[in-house]
Amino acid sequence: MIRWRRGEVVRIRREWPGAVELDVTTEDGSVRALAYPALVGRPEPGDAVLLNTTALAMGLGTGGYAMVVALPNRLPKDPQGPGHLVKARYTPLQATVLGADEQDSPFHETLREADSLDGMPVVVADLHSALPAILCGLYGSHPPTSGENPREDSLEGPGGDGGAEAAPSPPPAQGRPPRVAYVMLDGGALPAWFSMSCARLREVGWLDGVVTVGQAFGGDVEAVTLHTGLLAARHVLGADVAIVTQGPGNLGTGTRWGFSGVSAGEAVNAVAVLGGRPVAALRVSEGDLRERHVGVSHHSLTAYGRVALAPARIAVPELPGDFGRRVAEQAEALASRHELVGVSVDGLHEALAGSPVRLSTMGRGLEEDLAYFLASAAAGRHAASLLS
């Protein structure tokens, strides 16, 4: 089940918050490897490393690294400080983190009483690649720049116990862009550190925080469940809008139900239960060679049409031509349960072209599958309209 190799670090290729990319020599030759210093310590050239090379052997795209499991000759110091949530439980790399909702957390009292998202819009998508596109639509032609969304108070959001009824979310303070939190599900990568996009979006002020829920870890805020993660986004990070997707590296089997992204439907339910306003991003493609994903993906039709029991606003991008009509007709299958909202895509191509991170889905860039990114951006645009 695991392919083990020993290696030696040759050089550090690059690094971003939470992760270090390495060149490592092994008995099979040189490989590209990834280490999470918080788990294994920080590798340096000349260090011996123990690797898991399963992803390389399988030819995985998103996860095509050898993963550093340990620095056997230089183990890191024992962790210090509070934290009783165990994530990646009972795996060899299970980690203890401080959960926002646990008793030792300074936010425990806030989350113990919290029961409502106060009508906060929450955009739900099934793929991690939708995250930057949703943000492009949300910010439109006026994205924040580094420093516009000050983060020094990012863990001092308002508390509140709320109620079951969804109330209109108060608009952001005049003169500032909305505060946006990303809530990362555990259907893909478990460490949020894997995502270079998240790191860059935080750096430029497009995200005010990352919340990792379930078995996922490494966010600015840790939570036990999606429900407490959403509440933490609102009441700990002070978010005006949240975005929920799985982490990078989704898992699919070519079947209706065997896809990790069906969690998008479960996320709609969680948002509704907590008095938020779910906005569903359709997975749309004009560039995928698989017929089941052309137009509206069968995964969106399953997640929103079968799994989501609560109503959501489905953002239907108003795409041109026959393909646009096909998308609109396919989306009609969701009309009996949800509210379909047509969203103009005028200006969204330009907004997407200004993304601070590279846009890519299944190896296709912006121009190779423009419809996918426009559909995600349309959901962000609709969420922004709910703040006014």
Residue pLDDT, tens place only, 145-181: 655 554 433 343 323 333 334 444 455 655 678 999 9
- Residue 103 resides in a domain: no
Same domain? 300 vs 242: yes
Same domain? 370 vs 282: yes
- Residue where a domain stops, chosen among 70, 95, 118: 70
- Cβ-in-10-Å burial (0-12, 13-18, 19+) of 158 comes to exposed
- Residue 234 resides in a domain: yes
- Residue 312 resides in a domain: yes
- Residue 98 resides in a domain: no
pLDDT of residue 343: 98
Beta pairing partners, 22: 12, 33
pLDDT of residue 175: 61
- Cβ-in-10-Å burial (0-12, 13-18, 19+) of 15 comes to middle
Count of domains forming the chain: 2
Contact 206, 144 (CB under 8 A): yes
pLDDT above 80: residue 42: yes
- How does DSSP classify residue 77? P
d(CA 99, CA 217): 10
Mean pLDDT of 39-57: 94
- Report how far Cα 119 is from the mean position of its chain's Cα atoms: 21
Same domain? 297 vs 360: yes
- The mean pLDDT of the chain is 90
Mean pLDDT of 59-76: 85
User: How far, CA to CA in Å, does 322 sit from each of 133, 286, 288, 294?
Assistant: 23, 11, 17, 13
- Residue 79 resides in a domain: no
pLDDT over 90 for what percent of the chain?
A: 77
3-state secondary structure of 360: strand
- How does DSSP classify residue 76? P
Which residues, including other chains, have CB under 8 Å from residue 12's CB and lie 6 or more apart?
Answer: 20, 21, 22, 43, 44, 45
d(CA 320, CA 348): 13
Choose between 133 and 142: higher pLDDT: 133
Which residues, including other chains, have CB under 8 Å from residue 37's CB and lie 6 or more apart?
Answer: 18, 19, 20, 43, 76
In terms of residues, how long is the chain?
388
What pTM value is reported for the model? 0.91
- Report how far Cα 116 is from the mean position of its chain's Cα atoms: 21
pLDDT of residue 172: 64
pLDDT of residue 151: 40
Which residues, including other chains, have CB under 8 Å from residue 86's CB and lie 6 or more apart?
Answer: 94, 95, 96
- How does DSSP classify residue 102? S
* Domain assignment of residue 308, given as a range: 108-385
